[in-house]
A and B are shown apart, each in its own frame.
Chain A
């Protein structure tokens, strides 16, 4: 990038006028990542401090919100690593399984109405909080924050195909967690002896 395209840090008002309109969105994103109000506020402060210090690297006219989200997400990951709760899990595209696998499992266990059988919001919130990275951040960006695959890919600096596969994997993990929750609550029906663990092939291949 040519120097002429970088922002002159001697123009202090530009930083505030460019970044502060996105404060509410950054705060919401931070809260989605941390699921804790105090941690989210700390993360927002850290994000803006890092953004200020890196203001020279911001290209005028580019997407400031996306830039701030990327800084926020990276700051969040650094915090998790420091706390020793960071678990990197990346099984790549091989896990871009059809969406319905969890539904088939739920139906086999008599849990076709899974979402009406359990107290779904606390169960989902807990499941989201337990997602490993990088799946957690992608699910937050797309499902909670409403970003497109392309926007999430830009924030995370990964290919769109990787966003899709990791997002779908994350949703599967949430569903599996909900099914396990229902099983623990004694809501599942035992499969008959000798029943195949797999759905007939015509379900997904007809």
Chain B
């Protein structure tokens, strides 16, 4: 793949951060970022957003109780069908 310009990298940046590009495209962007300080700064900014969003992911703090409630819901729905 030929060297990329800044415009190409900018347009592909979120696909790049989401690993939604093929290996050749990722390697080409990596090569551009190694040489371009401005695009590196853009990438760091956007990567930080994606990383911060992933921190929001939460786990249920009482899965056993929720499971019991769901099983009870299914049991009652099954009884209603009969």
Q: Which of A41, A114, A143, A168 has the most CB of B within 10 A?
A: A143
| Cβ A204 vs Cβ B10 within 8 A | yes
A-B contact count (CB 8 A): 125
What distance in Å separates the Cβ of A51 from its nearest Cβ neighbour in chain B?
Answer: 9
Q: How far is the CA of A125 from the CA of B57 in the complex (A)?
A: 10
The digit string for A167-206, where 1 denotes a CB below 8 A from any CB of B, is 1100100110000000000000000000000000011111
Contacts of B78 in A (CB 8 A): 12, 52
The answer to whether residues A103 and B46 also contact, given A121-B55, A148-B20 and a CB cut-off of 8 A, is: yes
Q: How far is the CA of A32 from the CA of B41 in the complex (A)?
A: 29
What distance in Å separates the Cβ of A52 from its nearest Cβ neighbour in chain B?
Answer: 5
What distance in Å separates the Cβ of A203 from its nearest Cβ neighbour in chain B?
Answer: 7
Number of interface residues of B (CB under 8 A): 40
Residues of chain A from 28 to 49 with CB closer than 8 A to chain B in the complex:
28, 31-32, 37, 40-41, 44-45, 48-49
Interface flag for A146 (CB, 8 Å): yes
| Cβ A23 vs Cβ B66 within 8 A | yes
| Cβ A146 vs Cβ B54 within 8 A | yes
| Cβ A98 vs Cβ B18 within 8 A | no
| Cβ B13 vs Cβ A121 within 8 A | no
What distance in Å separates the Cβ of B48 from its nearest Cβ neighbour in chain A?
Answer: 5
Q: How far is the CA of A140 from the CA of B35 in the complex (A)?
A: 34
| Cβ B77 vs Cβ A52 within 8 A | yes
Contacts of B46 in A (CB 8 A): 99-100, 103, 171
Number of interface residues of A (CB under 8 A): 53
Q: How far is the CA of A37 from the CA of B66 in the complex (A)?
A: 11
The digit string for B39-69, where 1 denotes a CB below 8 A from any CB of A, is 0011001101110111111111101001101
Q: How far is the CA of A44 from the CA of B65 in the complex (A)?
A: 12
| Cβ B57 vs Cβ A144 within 8 A | yes
The answer to whether residues A98 and B10 also contact, given A52-B77, A174-B49 and a CB cut-off of 8 A, is: yes
Residues of chain A from 15 to 32 with CB closer than 8 A to chain B in the complex:
15-16, 20, 23-24, 27-28, 31-32
Contacts of A142 in B (CB 8 A): 18
Contacts of A40 in B (CB 8 A): 60
Interchain CB contact (< 8 A) of B70 among A12, A48, A100, A145 = A48
Interchain CB contact (< 8 A) of A32 among B17, B20, B45, B58 = B58
Q: How far is the CA of A99 from the CA of B48 in the complex (A)?
A: 12
Closest 10 CB pairs of A and B: A99-B13, A143-B53, A27-B60, A100-B42, A103-B45, A98-B10, A206-B6, A99-B14, A205-B7, A144-B57
Q: Which residues of B approach A to under 8 Å, CB–CB?
A: 5-7, 10-11, 13-15, 17-18, 20, 38, 41-42, 45-46, 48-50, 52-61, 63, 66-67, 69-71, 73-74, 77-78, 81
